[in-house]
């Protein structure tokens, strides 16, 4: 009598090349694929339904009066791609702009159980909506040991709320204004910024620092140190330094060739990044000095005049001013005209009125939320870019800043 043994699926799986094992795996794979496709279709239909309801709820729609009654028209969803990130194409209603969706993006994203929503122009009235499962501003990130080789290379400013990196090349025409309360991350950002620039052969980091922490001792022995003034022991020395920079600017302006209106930075003609750390404090200290003798100018007037000239005339001959203040009032920055010269502006944690003061009325809606922002989160405005919130890179403790300057900054010959 011949014995017959029936193989159960788990027995067949023991034999790697068994026909039943291969059949079983193929069947389970097809079944899993069908279930996945069915779940994707269900989720896609759910997205369409929730998107329509969400657009109606936040007002990103249009009411149309038809013969059968009032009809709600919302931006129409096209192709859906289940990511990550999950995205879909949307045809905007005539008259809508991508900014209209961005403005209510957080509320739309939360309605669809996501953290953030990114709007990317696609073609014509079509845009791509990308849904982000996590807020890019939630997690702190470190600054790699990067140092640009020239001012034409872009330094890293941070990552915006849509996960996109923000960069800036100092060869571009933009003075920089930073404001923020104590402990909001303003100095940390400045540490990261200068550590990226210190090694460039066509950059000199100059300026005034009454604290003596940002400039001064970290730059001892480097090519940048002769162009810096630190501390409060000699306030007039700060004025003399700024006047020396203005004199150099005048020399460059006078030496511009015919038919040329802008100097291209080079190692022999470097770009000067003039850092004014706690500039309002410098003005207060200068204002407290004794009244000058007859015929002499007050130190505070000399500082304001030099600052204004660097801001208004320095762009053409490779001078960029970076000013740090706790509150960017017009008087604190040397006057309303001086404040208007800053094209790149970053505001760390400040009250709503201070935010609007530097970034204009478009920042008003961010005021309440940004007044309690975590350290390292800033509102950024720059030419060609919409107002955005961003997290700046974290360099580390102050000792790390000193070490990076010591290892990357160009040394004196």
DSSP 43-79: HHHHHHHHHHHHHHHHT-SEEEEETTEEEEE-PEEEE
Report the distance separating Cα 288 and Cα 282, nearest Å.
10
Query: Where is 153: in which H helix or E strand?
Result: none
CA dihedral 107, 110, 116, 117 (to 10 degrees): -60
Query: Residues near 246 by Cβ (< 8 Å), separated by ≥ 6?
Result: 306, 309, 310
Please provide the size of the chain in residues: 413
Cα 377 to chain centroid, rounded: 9
Query: Is residue 207 part of an annotated ligand binding site?
Result: no
Q: What is the pLDDT, as a whole number, of residue 224?
A: 95
Report the distance separating Cα 181 and Cα 169, nearest Å.
26
8 Å CB contact between 51 and 76: no
Query: Is residue 111 part of an annotated ligand binding site?
Result: no
Q: Cα 352–192–358 angle (5° rounding)?
A: 25
Cα 74 to chain centroid, rounded: 32
Query: Is residue 307 part of an annotated ligand binding site?
Result: no
- Per-position DSSP letters for 380-397, written without gaps between them: EEETTEEEEEEEPPB--S
Query: Residues near 173 by Cβ (< 8 Å), separated by ≥ 6?
Result: 315, 343
Q: What is the pLDDT, as a whole number, of residue 117?
A: 87
Q: How far is CA 215 from CA 225, 230, 254, 382, in A?
A: 8, 7, 30, 25
Q: Strand, helix or coil at 357?
A: helix
Q: What is the pLDDT, as a whole number, of residue 149?
A: 92
First and final C-alpha spacing in the chain: 100
Query: Where is 244: in which H helix or E strand?
Result: helix 235-254
Joined tokens for residue 302: 């000399």
Q: What is the pLDDT, as a whole number, of residue 17?
A: 58
Cα 61 to chain centroid, rounded: 31
pLDDT in tens, the chain (413 residues): 444 444 445 544 445 557 777 787 888 888 888 888 888 888 888 888 899 999 988 888 888 877 777 888 889 988 888 877 888 899 999 988 988 888 888 899 898 888 888 888 888 889 999 888 888 888 888 888 778 999 999 999 999 888 888 999 999 878 999 999 998 999 999 999 999 999 999 999 999 999 989 998 899 999 999 999 999 999 999 999 999 999 999 999 999 988 888 889 999 999 999 999 999 999 999 999 988 888 889 999 999 999 999 999 998 999 999 999 999 888 888 888 888 999 999 999 999 889 998 998 888 888 888 888 899 999 999 887 778 899 999 988 899 999 999 999 988 87
Domains of the chain: 28-132 (3.30.980.40), 154-408 (3.40.50.300)
Whose CA is closest to 385, among 181, 195, 161? 161
Joined tokens for residue 311: 């801001």
Q: What is the pLDDT, as a whole number, of residue 321?
A: 96
Q: Which sign, positive or negative, has the C-alpha torsion 105, 106, 112, 117?
A: positive
Report the distance separating Cα 293 and Cα 355, nearest Å.
40
Describe the crossing of helices 186-197 and 398-408 by its angle, rounded to 10 degrees: 10
Whose CA is closest to 157, among 379, 392, 343, 344? 392
Query: Is residue 185 part of an annotated ligand binding site?
Result: yes
Backbone angles phi, psi at 147, to 5 degrees: -145, 120
Query: Is residue 186 part of an annotated ligand binding site?
Result: yes
């Amino acid at each position: 009598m011949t014995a017959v043994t029936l193989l159960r699926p788990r027995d067949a799986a023991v034999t790697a090349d068994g026909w039943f094992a291969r059949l079983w795996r193929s069947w389970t794979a097809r079944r899993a694929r069908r279930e996945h496709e069915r779940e994707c279709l269900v989720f896609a239909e759910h997205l369409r339904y929730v998107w329509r309801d969400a657009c109606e709820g936040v007002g990103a729609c249009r009411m149309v009066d038809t013969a059968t009654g009032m009809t709600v028209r919302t931006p129409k969803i096209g192709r859906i791609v289940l990511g990550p990130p999950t995205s879909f194409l949307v045809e905007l209603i005539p008259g809508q702009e991508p900014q209209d969706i961005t403005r209510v993006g957080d509320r739309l994203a939360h309605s669809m159980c996501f953290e953030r929503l990114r709007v990317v122009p696609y073609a014509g009235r079509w845009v791509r909506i990308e849904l982000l499962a996590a807020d890019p501003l939630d997690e702190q990130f470190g600054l790699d040991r990067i140092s640009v080789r020239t001012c034409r290379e872009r330094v890293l400013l941070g990552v915006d709320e849509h996960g996109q990196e923000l960069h800036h090349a100092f060869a571009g025409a933009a003075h920089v204004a930073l404001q923020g309360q104590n402990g909001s991350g303003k100095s940390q950002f400045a540490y990261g910024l200068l550590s990226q620039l210190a090694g460039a052969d066509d950059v000199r980091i100059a300026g005034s620092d009454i604290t003596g922490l940002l400039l001064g001792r970290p730059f001892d022995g480097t090519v940048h140190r002769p162009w810096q003034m630190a501390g409060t022991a000699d306030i007039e020395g700060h004025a003399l330094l700024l006047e020396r920079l203005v004199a150099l600017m005048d020399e460059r302006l006078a030496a511009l060739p015919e038919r040329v209106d802008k100097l291209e930075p080079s190692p022999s003609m470097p770009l000067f990044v003039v850092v004014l750390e706690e500039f309002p404090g410098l003005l207060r200290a200068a204002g407290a000095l004794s009244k000058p003798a007859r015929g002499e100018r007050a130190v505070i007037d000399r500082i304001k005049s030099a600052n204004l000239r660097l801001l208004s005339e320095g762009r053409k001959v490779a001078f960029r001013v970076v000013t740090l203040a706790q509150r960017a009032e017009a008087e604190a920055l040397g006057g309303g005209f001086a404040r208007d010269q800053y094209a790149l502006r970053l505001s760390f944690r400040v009250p709503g009125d201070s935010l609007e003061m530097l970034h204009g009325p478009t920042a008003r809606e961010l005021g309440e939320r940004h007044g309690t922002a975590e350290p390292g989160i800033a509102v950024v405005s720059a030419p060609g870019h919409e107002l955005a919130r961003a997290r700046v890179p974290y360099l580390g403790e102050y000792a790390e800043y000193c070490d990076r300057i010591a290892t990357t900054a160009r040394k004196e010959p």
